[in-house]
Amino acid sequence: MQNLREEHDTMGTVLVPADRLWGAQTQRSLQNFAIGTETMPRSIIRAFAHLKKAAAQANWDCGKLSEERRDAIAAACGLIAGGELDGEFPLKIWQTGSGTQSNMNVNEVIAHLCAKAGVEVHPNDHVNLSQSSNDTFPTAMHIAAVCEMEERLLPAMERLEKTLRRLEEENRDVIKIGRTHLQDAVPLRFSQEISGWRHMLTVCREMAAGAVDALRYLALGGTAVGTGLNAPHDFGERTAVLLTRYTGHRFFTSPNKFHALTSKDGFVYAHGFLKALAADLMKIANDVRWLASGPRCGLGEIVIPENEPGSSIMPGKVNPTQCEAVTMVAVQVMGNDAAIGFAASQGNFELNVFMPVIAYNFLQSVELLSDVMDSFDRNCLQGLRANRQRMGELVDRSLMLVTCLTPLIGYEKAAECAKRAHQEGLTLRQAVLDSGLLTAEAYDRAVQADKMV
């Protein structure tokens, strides 16, 4: 039989597992919101740990908290931020829309850790001093989002971009046929095609700066409705400076706490960048799997690593599974974007009450994009190589080489030659020579794929 202990809050007594550090309000949430399997992201919990440490220091600076309690709270926050106590934060995303219960979960765990260290700390009176769930939860969301983007997403983008830059350099001498509308087009260098992929990431990294900056402004100091009731007048400024020091990421206090509590437009804006990145990755992955299609009956212009068997019934089949993972992540991110947009539109009066679902979807997008870029890079793109023979064959067979003849014979005559070659199974060269429009020497002088790129 499980050992239990009594914990109390303003609503009475609750039985809590004796080996757990949380208190009554966490236990009530576990009982009242047994919904789904999605729990509060660990990055939110770590953000709360930094926040509570900064708040304790700021409260001590303002003469509202003793040095002993400040130090005890800081030590507890260090354990939480280090990930040693992740099991103490079991609450579901599908709880109160302000995230109050997760704020109290953190407060209660910190208070119990302080008690174990011999310091009496109350979860509301001391850990939550000068704060409200209404300003701490959005602050934790912003901290987690900035940290995850700058520590995980941007480095993954840079690694992927580096691989594409290498492939671009290695394939400068490779000519291939271009395609528009899934139909043959004029030739280009394979490096030029890769440069398009690479520049997508370059542009996205430039977009990322604005996206991250939109999330650097914190609600802390606004307390319940934005007025800052029960908080020192400079509490927001102090904690922003401290959070910058503790996390190594730049944060500022929001100049308008009424906006900070009720609007989540920063998340909508920043997730728009994540959606743009997902769209670009979808395009790159689709190009790669099309170009690698085959091995005998597809385009077959590139070869990608063979990582695992592709079929339970067709022996020897290998599939572009890394590309498929990228495209599935892209679809999930686009769905998350819709959820975040809807949730952010629900800022009624002084508070948005869809914050946990916004945080969950945003951070999931960051995590999935970071992981899938590294996986795609490591397991696919780093081993990608051009099938030069196949690319050369397709260039030679293409009818769209006729485009370079239009200055010599005109658009309509060039089109007639291309159509005749296709209908009669001729080479383009033979169709043009049969038309009498050009001599063999003139044709060979004009139609040189490497001069068309």
Q: Which residues are catalytic?
A: 181, 311
Nearest to 333 by CA among 363, 378, 375: 363
Nearest to 185 by CA among 387, 399, 450, 445: 399
- Are residues 57 and 241 in contact, defined by beta-carbon separation less than 8 angstroms? no
Residue in this structure with the two tokens 């303002």, named with its chain if needed: 62
What does the chain come to in residues? 453
Q: What angle do CA 263, 235, 83 make, to 5 degrees?
A: 75
Burial of 352 (0-12, 13-18, 19+ CB in 10 A): buried
Token digits for 106?
Answer: 């953190």
Burial of 153 (0-12, 13-18, 19+ CB in 10 A): buried
- Are residues 104 and 25 in contact, defined by beta-carbon separation less than 8 angstroms? yes
Measured distance CA(372)–CA(384) in Å, rounded: 17
3-state DSSP assignment of residue 173: coil
